[in-house]
Homo-oligomer: A and B are copies of this chain.
Amino acid sequence: MGRPRGFDSDEALDRAMEVFWRHGYEGATIPNLTRAMGINRPSLYAAFGNKEELFRKALDRYAAGPTAFAREALAEPTARRVAESLLRGAVRMAADGRNPRGCLLVHGALACGEQAEPVRRELAVRREAGVSAIRERFERAVRENDLPAGTDCAGLARYVATVIYGLAVQAASGATGDELRRAAELAMRVWPG
């Protein structure tokens, strides 16, 4: 009961995600957010708590939306195809004109003031979780004799993540989709075998 909400919560969250993506956590102001979300201040606080909670919810939405390709990529049958899918997906997302350039996990708060420190740490944790997921997938590949025994799975996962996040930085510098694609293609030449 009570007055019903005048906006769709998920749509508003998508808009918020985009603002954070484009301006980073600190660079995104509440007026920025409310304008993009089409709601006013008290509605934002009532629906999402505060700026930091809103950001975390936007992160979850980011994981479920623009970076859903990563989960699919990890399900590919071979390690090589996992890596290819990850890089291809990263390039496609970075080059997609509908999104802000780059990756929210990188642009959100690489460096920040004291206040945003919890957010920075959260992003670091999420990035590291990605590296771990890739490493575990490669370890499975070793067990399946898809990758040679003795492969440095941690190193390989770190390398793949390095290229992915590096591509996000390049996208932020204004590199074209084609340039990113060529760099990603080169990156795959590392592949053993």
Contact = CB atoms under 8 A, between A and B. Distances in A.
A173 B124 contact: yes
Given A107-B110, A112-B27, A169 B169 contact: yes
A33 to B, nearest CB: 12
Contacts of A22: 111
A162 interface: yes
Interface residues of A, number: 52
Nearest to A104: B111
A15 interface: no
A113 B107 CA distance: 12
A111 B116 contact: no
Interface string A131-158: 1000000000000000000001011101
Interface in A19-44: 21-24, 26-29, 32
A162 B155 contact: no
B186 A29 contact: no
Contacts of A179: 154-155, 158
A27 B116 CA distance: 9
26 contacts: A21-B111, A23-B111, A24-B110, A26-B26, A26-B112, A27-B111, A27-B112, A27-B116, A28-B113, A32-B113, A108-B111, A110-B169, A131-B173, A154-B182, A155-B179, A155-B182, A155-B185, A158-B170, A158-B175, A158-B182, A159-B183, A159-B186, A159-B187, A162-B187, A169-B169, A190-B190
